[in-house]
Amino acid sequence: MSTACVLASPAPALVAVAALGLALAIDRWLGEPPARWHPVVWMGAYLDAVGRLAAPPEGQNERARAVPFLLGALGWTVGAAASAMAGWAVQWHALHHLPGWCAALVLALAFKPLFAWRMLRAEALAVDAALATSLAAGRARLAQLVSRDVDALDEAAVRESAIESLAENVNDSVVAPLFWFVVAGLPGAALYRFANTADAMWGYRGARSGREWDWAGKWAARADDVLSWFPARLTGCWLAAPGWRDEPIGLATLRREAGRTPSPNSGWPMAAMALRLRVRLGKPGVYTLNACAGAPVAGDVQRAVRLAARVVAASAAVAALAILLLAVSCGP
């Protein structure tokens, strides 16, 4: 049930909109909560513990499929259900037992850790600032943001990787949580954040950190693909949307470029960012987006951040409007 339809009344919708605004303000002014109070850190601790049980050690039982898959699927389901139920419990208590202003504050404090724009923006700009100091510093800072090997990247490739990560995570860390908050309230946002975290920790092909993830992480990877499918395309279209002086980007062009990546979803925001900035983005030996354009140069990371900020603002405004419209449609 959507946030706006929780009580089939406009009152909860107003609380949800207020919570959304407060959560964005908390993100802007305070950023992330301490690790010991961060729900995503708790999710990660659970996934790390269960992952050691589900994924066999590297080189051991290489042909095993059924057992790692079932253990991974079961571990994911338990964690996802616990995350959604915790979100539901907080939301239900806030809307049923607290005055409106207090309910909005509680929901905002619970929702804020499930998305992260300030941190994402800061990390992208930090890579750019480090790169202005030296290539080695830029690589070192990028290594904190991406999982790929950064040692062989030149200056342009460091910028490419930072812009790609920014584009992909605008969806994963902002637009998708907002989307699922509209669709299913705090439980939906919590479920999505768990699924995305599980994909980041388990969704690998082959070996990683001494364990085989092909089958243990398959359920997590596919679940994230499903939950991210619509938000990723929405993010891509918003990134590709023209400003006052921009030329339009055709949907067919965006779809073609997005299809060059092996991921069914991350290609959409990355391709849109490449096309809108008129730069080439890619991962050597895997894909190249907007191949006819030049490599990113100094200033392109800042341009990417400004474009992403525009998408975040638009997403928040549309989410608030959608909650109110759903309240009207679900009301008596």
Query: pLDDT tens track of the chain, all 332 residues?
Result: 455 455 345 678 899 999 999 999 999 999 999 999 999 999 999 999 999 999 998 876 656 789 999 999 999 999 999 999 999 999 999 999 999 999 999 999 999 999 999 999 999 999 999 999 999 999 999 998 887 888 889 999 999 999 999 999 999 999 999 999 999 999 999 999 999 999 999 998 888 878 889 999 999 999 999 999 999 999 999 999 987 678 889 999 999 999 999 999 999 999 999 999 999 999 888 999 999 999 999 999 999 999 999 999 999 999 999 998 887 777 55
63 backbone dihedrals φ, ψ, rounded to 5°: -90, 0
C-beta atoms surrounding 148 within 10 Å: 16
Beta strands in the chain (DSSP E): 207-208, 211-212, 281-283, 287-289
Say if residues 20 and 323 touch (Cβ distance below 8 Å): yes
pTM for the model stands at: 0.94
Tokens for 160, please give them: 């490419």
* Amino acid sitting at position 211: R
Tokens for 74, please give them: 């079961």
pLDDT at 62: 58
Q: Where are the alpha helices (DSSP H) in 98-214?
A: 100-111, 118-133, 135-143, 155-170, 176-202
